[in-house]
Amino acid sequence: MTTPVPAVAAVPAVRVLLADDQQLIRTALGMVIADLPDIEVVGEAADGAEAVALVAQLAPDVVVMDLRMPGMDGIEATRRITQGAGTQGTGTRIVVLTTFDDDDHVYGALRAGASGFLVKDMALDDILAAIRIVASGDALIAPSVTRRLIQDFAANHQQRAEQRELAAITGREREVLTLVGRGLSNTEIAAELCISVATAKTYITRLLAKLDARDRVQLVILAYEAGLVSATERR
């Protein structure tokens, strides 16, 4: 007698809202995503206010958010969405996608709660990968954005070591936080500290809880605020 093979439940597609005042950008991304089995566009917004309203209505998993839009900009929209204003507690996460060289608000967007920050000249495959990463609960910042973020932060936050108290974390957790701030992955952190990847993940989880951080992006910011990493140390 042949044993029936249990059916494998289909993984729900990542539900995405595109927020950009440029119709061309929304159309181009929408056309690419339309051919993917694991991501779907559930709505489009031409400004921040519309994005906030549609998040409340559609509860997408991820919003791909431009920063410079008429009326309510992407930073304010990100803040309202991540703080739950009108979202009914959906837990929607934000990936900022912008023309970075024309925008001085990277730090503001990350502080507002964005879980990813990408530039529009990145490869489409990288943008799609970032959507998946953020939807899974992780965070991602484009390398070029990270470099600019660090430069701006170093220039404008000279007293950062006095701004963030890290007394609650252990010495080993401080080491891990420093490596996160330098941009190392969990695998690289494990190799650097001669620990297993699972242990590295455990340390990251503890840091998120102890420092009340949403995700890895906020850990990077906290590492700089605490003076654990300088611009010259970033790889």
Same domain, 163 and 87: no
Same domain, yes or no: 131 and 18: yes
One domain for residues 18 and 134: yes
Instruction: Tell me whether residue 96 is in a domain.
Output: yes
Residue 51: predicted pLDDT: 95
- Do both 28 and 88 map to the same domain? yes
Instruction: Look at residue 148 in the predicted model and tell me its pLDDT.
Output: 59
Distances (CA, A) of 33 to 64, 142, 179: 12, 20, 34
State how many domains the chain has: 2
Q: Which portions of the chain are predicted below pLDDT 50?
A: 8, 85-89, 102, 158-163, 232, 234-235
Residue pointed to by tokens 């779907």? 40
Q: In this predicted structure, what is the pLDDT of residue 37?
A: 92
What is the predicted pLDDT for the residue at 89? 44
pLDDT tens column, 88-114: 445 899 998 887 554 556 777 777 888
Q: 122 and 84 in one domain?
A: yes
CA 160 to chain centre: 22
Decide if 6 is inside a domain. Answer: no
Which of 134, 150, 166 terminates a domain? The answer is 150
Q: Are residues 143 and 176 in the same domain?
A: no
73 and 181 share a domain? Answer: no
By residue range, what is the domain housing residue 181?
Answer: 158-233
Same domain, 32 and 96: yes
Look at residue 7 and tell me if it is in a domain: no
Predicted pLDDT at 234: 47
127 in the same domain as 35: yes
Shared domain check, 126 and 22: yes
In a domain? residue 185: yes
pLDDT at residue number 8: 46
Q: Is residue 5 one of the residues assigned to a domain? A: no
Buried b (16+ CB within 10 A) or exposed e, 128-167: bebbebbbeebbbbbeebbebbbeebbeeeeebeeeeebe
83 and 178 both lie in a single domain: no
The reported pLDDT for the residue numbered 7 is: 52
223: which residues sit within 8 A by CB, 6+ positions away?
A: 177, 178, 180, 181, 182, 229
pLDDT value for 46: 94
